[in-house]
Amino acid sequence: MNSFEPQSQDSLQRRFHQDNSTTQQPRDTTTPFIPKPASKNHNNSNSSSGAAGRSFQGFGLNVEDDLVSSVVPPVTVVLEGRSICQRISLDKHGSYQSLASALRQMFVDGADSTDDLDLSNAIPGHLIAYEDMENDLLLAGDLTWKDFVRVAKRIRILPVKGNTRQVKRNE
Amino acid sequence: MGRGRSSSSSSIESSSKSNPFGASSSTRNLSTDLRLGLSFGTSSGTQYFNGGYGYSVAAPAVEDAEYVAAVEEEEENECNSVGSFYVKVNMEGVPIGRKIDLMSLNGYRDLIRTLDFMFNASILWAEEEDMCNEKSHVLTYADKEGDWMMVGDVPWEMFLSTVRRLKISRANYHY
């Protein structure tokens, strides 16, 4: 079922694009009530979801790109102790490992590619945490990647202090 | 309601008109992004609440609140639809919280075992209240009304329907 989620999101974005291009009031009045049941149907039916995704291809690519960039904004990355932040677009990465690689290149000087790279060793001596929409600080890695991209609003890189609990959590 | 609709339509038209000029100026590009964001928020709100039109006439602050609620509701729906139910867990004295998928667990013992591993702790829950007193932490949860309850007092299925958040507190009392 995870494989259908991106199609659902694409469908929602494209439907929004349709709303954007339509200016007639009669259609505007009816549109708000249709998407929700349609979305449910797409979630329930495999073929329907696939068809919906394909039928919307080719619609205003430029506008769609704008929509995508506004729907998933880049997030701020803060390294504890540094005053200058960096930004990263999570939608350009497909996994935690890809994010770990990007963070390593950002913050580790002379970093070479490592095969067994993951969040726990991306930046030596540091933990990768994030703030969600409720401003709670959480350790990155517990959610699926897609859920993480949806809820992470800021990434914080915190030093591991001499606390054995923190170290063990990464095992 | 009529005013609300015209306002929404006007916003959409404004977005459409500004698109051609987006590439020519960074200032206009920013403006475009802002408008698109607002339109998306309004659209999302109307999709999830029948009363959306009534509220759209009110102050923008209400729309913002509605948008936030819609996002949270969407998040809940998505989590439920894929067969997972993530809740936040915080341990007293540890600044970084965790998220745990309760749907992937088989019951209370599985939950305690998982949290013991996550936080490297020895956690007490209701069924063990009368047993050995060497455990240093107790597991509590916030229910729908925000009250903190001890984990294990109700059947697992009932617990799943009311839990919103978990907290591992230091056990202050002695047995």
- Looking at residue B59, its amino acid is A
B84, B91, B157 from B108: Cα distances, Å: 17, 18, 10
Q: What is the DSSP string of B71-107?
A: HHHHHHHHHHHTT--EEEEEETT-SSBEEEEGGG--S
CB proximity under 8 Å: B 22-51 to A? 22, 32-33, 36-37, 39-40, 43, 46-48
Number of domains in chain B: 1
User: What DSSP line would sit under A31-57, residue for residue?
Assistant: GGGSHHHHHHHHHH-HHHHHHHHHHTT
How confident is the model over A60-118, as pLDDT tens digits? 444 444 444 456 789 999 998 888 889 999 999 999 999 999 999 988 887 676 667 88
Which of A52-66, B2-16, B41-55 holds the top average pLDDT? A52-66
Residue A35 inside a domain? The answer is: no
Alpha-carbon distance of B53 to B77, in angstroms, equals 22
Q: Which of A63, A139, A143 sits opposite B19 (nearest CB)?
A: A63
Half-sphere exposure of A27 (CA within 13 A, CB side): 9
Q: Could you read off the pLDDT of B92-110 as tens digits, one per residue?
A: 999 999 999 999 999 999 9
* Higher per-residue confidence, A4 vs B145: B145
Asked, for residue B163, whether it belongs to a domain, the answer is yes
Per-residue confidence (pLDDT) for residue A161, from 0 to 100: 78
A140 pLDDT band, cuts 50/70/90, is very high
- Domain extent, residue A109, equals 91-159
Q: Which domain holds residue B130?
A: 86-170
Question: What average pLDDT does this structure show over B139-168?
Answer: 95
Q: Express each pLDDT in B28-76 by its tens digit.
A: 334 333 433 333 333 333 333 333 333 333 334 444 444 444 444 444 4
pLDDT value, residue B144? 93
What is the rounded (10 degree) CA torsion for A156, A113, A161, B95? 30
Q: What is the CATH number of the domain that holds A98?
A: 3.10.20.90
- The enclosing domain of B132 has a CATH number of 3.10.20.90
Distance CA(A165)–CA(B94), nearest Å, equals 9
* Number of domains chain A contains: 1
pLDDT reported for residue A88:
92
> Is 80 exceeded by the pLDDT of residue A128?
yes
**Mean pLDDT score of chain B, rounded to an integer?**
66
Q: Match 């000029």 to its residue by tokens.
A: B21
User: What pLDDT, on a 0 to 100 scale, did the predictor assign at position B68?
Assistant: 45
Interchain proximity B71–A133, CB inside 8 Å: yes
Percent of chain A scoring above 70 in pLDDT: 50
> Domain for residue A131, yes or no?
yes
Interface test with A, best of B5, B40, B55, B79 (most A CBs within 10 A): B40
